[in-house]
Amino acid sequence: MADFIFADDYRLDESPTRNFYELFLKGLVHKHNNLMGVIQGFSSLILYDDDISSEVRDCAQQMQDSSKVASDLNQEVLTSGGCARCEQAAVSVGELGAFWADKATEICNGAGVGLQANVRDNIPAVSGDGAKLTDIFTHLVKNAAEEAANVDGGSVAIDIFPPGEASPGSNVDLFIRNSSHPLDEAALRKAFEPFHTSKGAEHFGLGLTTSAILAGQMNMRLGLRYADKTTTAWLAMPPAA
């Protein structure tokens, strides 16, 4: 499937330099969270005062809301920077399937788009971290639903295939397809870049970056393709030993 653009450049190495940047990023986020905690604390104190004007209340509320968003961003930055450790184990995709379906339904309903899900029977266990694999799935579905919402009658479809059915080899294949406006190769590559988003300033632009980093940490392969008014994300998951 050579027409997929794969996020292979987002596989982080284990060099001493990489270790430095990981420690640096963790420290920076920790310091930043301390500052956000101070802002949240003082803004809360202001909001407790019933005598403040509506203008001051609005400003204090905006400060508190922004600091909470900044704290959420810090967590995303740590994960997309490779600071979240993945514990490799045998993960039953079949058992996760029901939870994933509920999660996808919630996301797609919230975005106002249709959803079709197809999980084949007898899906073997894969090698990975169940929580991090769910994070990838959630990011990919959110990205698909948000893009589909921009297309009239847009929808999302999810397929999970056992080894050999969708691609050669022993991988379990997850495909997430969504209605989409045209995307060329440059746009597909740029989609993986950190903080790149076409969905507005309210988005961090880290969903696909985080997915790519986590996939690389679990020795999985993540790719994107656009064809026939549809964007497809493909996650190839290696089987458990």
What's the pLDDT score for residue 201? 62
* Residues 45 and 107 reside in one and the same domain: no
Q: How far is CA 10 from CA 39, 193, 194, in A?
A: 34, 9, 10
* Residues 51 and 100 reside in one and the same domain: no
* Residues 126 and 180 reside in one and the same domain: yes
CA torsion 144→139→78→89, rounded to 10°?
Answer: -140
Q: Which whole number is the average pLDDT over 131-144?
A: 97
* Residues 131 and 53 reside in one and the same domain: no
Residues 67-108: tens digit of each pLDDT:
999 999 998 999 999 998 888 999 999 889 889 999 999 999
Q: Which whole number is the average pLDDT over 167-173?
A: 95
What's the pLDDT score for residue 85? 83
- Residue 109 belongs to a domain: yes
What's the pLDDT score for residue 205? 85
Q: Is the pLDDT score of 189 beyond 90?
A: yes
- Residue 9 belongs to a domain: no
CA 103 to CA 96: how far, in whole Å? 11
Q: Identify the bridge partners of residue 46 per DSSP, sorted by sequence position.
A: none
Last-in-domain residue among 80, 99, 133: 80
And the tokens for 142? 């959110």
Q: Is the pLDDT score of 14 beyond 60?
A: yes
CA 20 to CA 34: how far, in whole Å? 21
pTM for this structure? 0.88
Looking up residue 115, the CATH number of its domain turns out to be 3.30.565.10
Q: Which whole number is the average pLDDT over 127-147?
A: 96
* Residues 120 and 33 reside in one and the same domain: no
Residues 192-240: tens digit of each pLDDT:
999 887 766 667 889 999 999 999 999 999 999 999 999 999 999 999 9
And the tokens for 157? 């479809």
What's the pLDDT score for residue 197? 78
* Residues 27 and 109 reside in one and the same domain: no
Last-in-domain residue among 80, 98, 119: 80
Domain that holds residue 37: 16-80
Q: Count structural domains, the chain.
A: 2
Average pLDDT value for the chain: 92
Residues 6+ apart with CB under 8 A from 179: 113, 147, 148, 151, 153, 154, 155, 156, 229, 230
